[in-house]
Amino acid sequence: MSKEQVIAKLIPVFRHYGYEGATMSRLSEATGLKKASLYHHFQGGKEQIAEAVLEYIGTWIEENVFAPLKSDQAPRDRILAMCRGIDKFYQTGQEPCVLSVMSVGEADNLFHQQLEQSLKQWIDTLAAIVEETGIEPQQARERAEDALMLIQGALVLVRVSNNTQPFQRAIAKLPQILLEDQ
Amino acid sequence: MSKEQVIAKLIPVFRHYGYEGATMSRLSEATGLKKASLYHHFQGGKEQIAEAVLEYIGTWIEENVFAPLKSDQAPRDRILAMCRGIDKFYQTGQEPCVLSVMSVGEADNLFHQQLEQSLKQWIDTLAAIVEETGIEPQQARERAEDALMLIQGALVLVRVSNNTQPFQRAIAKLPQILLEDQ
DNA sequence: GTCTATATAGGGATAGAC
DNA sequence: GTCTATCCCTATATAGAC
């Protein structure tokens, strides 16, 4: 099993249990590797595992959410492509956001800068697209923030209500929020 | 120190560290009571402490967020009153939402039903107000959900970005989202 | 590279003095 | 009601065999 495959199995544990809840026992069970083997791959222990998870997710987002935004299609089509990436990433809202579960407690102390940077990049990228359509920078930024708030809020609602409908509605509303006058 | 005062000191620990991160040590430090004293007040241990916290918060929300919605003022004024309650409850976004931090990991298994019930109540209450203004039930419900998504999403953004602006903007937008055509 | 076995620290929880 | 002292278990992490 490659390191990538190992990390792919670690991710859902962090997403569903958070940093403190992602115990070495659960990580061991999720991967099928005993604890000592995990320490062989990640000498820095749990903290380094979380770092690897964050990096892996960053790359995935880059390729599946940001990349579609940078194609040569019309802005609306690029945003629709991004929406498909988001829907896949969050599995229609059923997979929690690492950004939000890692911004709690101990994990926040360890990774705050990195999380903040990732969020900023997402907002900046979205705002740039909106600006391309002729919207003022300040307005574009607010729309990008509104879009991310809606996504993050939808994820909370889905988690608590066990109903993916709010997420689907939120995704469907993104093009309107970003491109049309409110 | 009364039980209410103790609980008031316990709450921020759960909000900032989540259920698993809210260790008895931290709860002890936050209250100034040693662990054994906490067990005297809450014989059910940590789980019962969390229950007490959730109940206390439920009452607070009832009095400061729901009650204003039931006054005899105009719908818009009632919603503005609710917004003030929300702003106070979340300290302009600087205090995380218990609902969201408790819907992760072990805590979610323990309290899922209760959290789901609280969220449902909030949505139903908001939707009822919107319906009063002549909006169709389905539309009203979606607006209420949109409002809660925006709030929850704003809280994530504030936590990650250390910037309360998105929350303030979100709160300011609530009357529009609930009462005006989009 | 993966395992068993183990060390050390901290978690939740209780007994019993005051 | 609050404390000190302590129990047991699990968490993180390491040693060393295969």
Give me the domains of chain A, ranges plus CATH numbers: 53-179 (1.10.357.10)
CB contact under 8 A, B150 and A150: yes
B108 exposed, middle or buried (CB, 10 Å; 0-12, 13-18, 19+)?
middle
Block residue for tokens 């005297």: B40
Return d(Cα B157, Cα A145) in angstroms, integer.
8
Residue B181 pLDDT: 83
Residue A181 pLDDT: 83
Other CB atoms within 10 Å distance of the CB of residue B55? 12
pLDDT along chain A (182 residues), means of 10: 96 98 98 98 98 98 95 95 98 98 98 98 96 97 98 98 98 97 80
Mean pLDDT, rounded, for B120-147: 97
Residues of B with CB under 8 A from a CB of A: 16-18, 20-21, 96-97, 99-101, 103-106, 108, 112, 115-116, 119-120, 142, 145-146, 148-154, 156-157, 159-162, 166, 169-170, 182
Q: How far is B116 from chain A (nearest CA, A)?
A: 5
Q: Are residues B20 and B106 in contact, defined by beta-carbon separation less than 8 angstroms?
A: yes
User: How many residue contacts between A and B have a Cβ separation below 8 Å?
Assistant: 126
Return d(Cα B61, Cα B47) in angstroms, integer.
21
Q: Are residues B116 and A161 in contact, defined by beta-carbon separation less than 8 angstroms?
A: yes
Mean pLDDT, rounded, for B152-170: 98
Chain B positions in Cβ-Cβ contact with residue A105 (cut-off 8 Å): 16-18, 20-21
CA at A28, C1' at D11: how many angstroms apart? Answer: 13
Return d(Cα A41, Cα A4) in angstroms, integer.
11
Q: How far is A139 from chain B (nearest CA, A)?
A: 12
The whole-chain average pLDDT of chain B stands at 97
Give me the helix-helix angle, B3-21 and A3-21, nearest 10°: 170
Distances (CA, A) of A47 to A34, A41, A112: 17, 12, 13
Nucleotide nearest to A42 (CA to C1'): D13
Residue B1 pLDDT: 86
Residue A1 pLDDT: 86
Give residue A86's identity as a one-letter amino acid code.
I
CA neighbor of A18 nearest in space, from B127, B58, B126, B103: B103
Partner-chain residue, chosen from B104, B119, B142, that has the shortest CB–CB distance to A101: B104
Per-residue pLDDT tens for B37-92?
A: 999 999 999 999 999 999 999 999 999 999 999 999 999 999 999 999 999 999 99
* Residues near chain C strand, CB within 7 A: A 1, 32-37, 40-41; B 22-26, 35-36, 39, 43, 45-47
CA at B56, C1' at D11: how many angstroms apart? Answer: 31
Chain B positions in Cβ-Cβ contact with residue A145 (cut-off 8 Å): 157, 166, 169
B contact test, residue of A145, A158, A182 with most B CBs within 10 A? A145
Q: Are residues A158 and A167 in contact, defined by beta-carbon separation less than 8 angstroms?
A: yes
Partner-chain residue, chosen from A17, A96, A142, that has the shortest CB–CB distance to B169: A142
Block residue for tokens 């055509």: B181
Q: Are residues B142 and B149 in contact, defined by beta-carbon separation less than 8 angstroms?
A: no
CA angle A163, A168, A173 (to 5 degrees): 140
CA neighbor of B19 nearest in space, from B57, B48, B61: B48
Per-residue pLDDT tens for B86-113?
A: 999 999 999 999 999 999 999 999 999 9
Judged against a pLDDT cut of 80, whether residue B182 lies above it is answered with no
Per-residue pLDDT tens for B110-125?
A: 999 999 999 999 999 9
Q: Are residues A151 and A170 in contact, defined by beta-carbon separation less than 8 angstroms?
A: yes
Which two structure tokens, joined as six digits, stand for A1? 């099993």
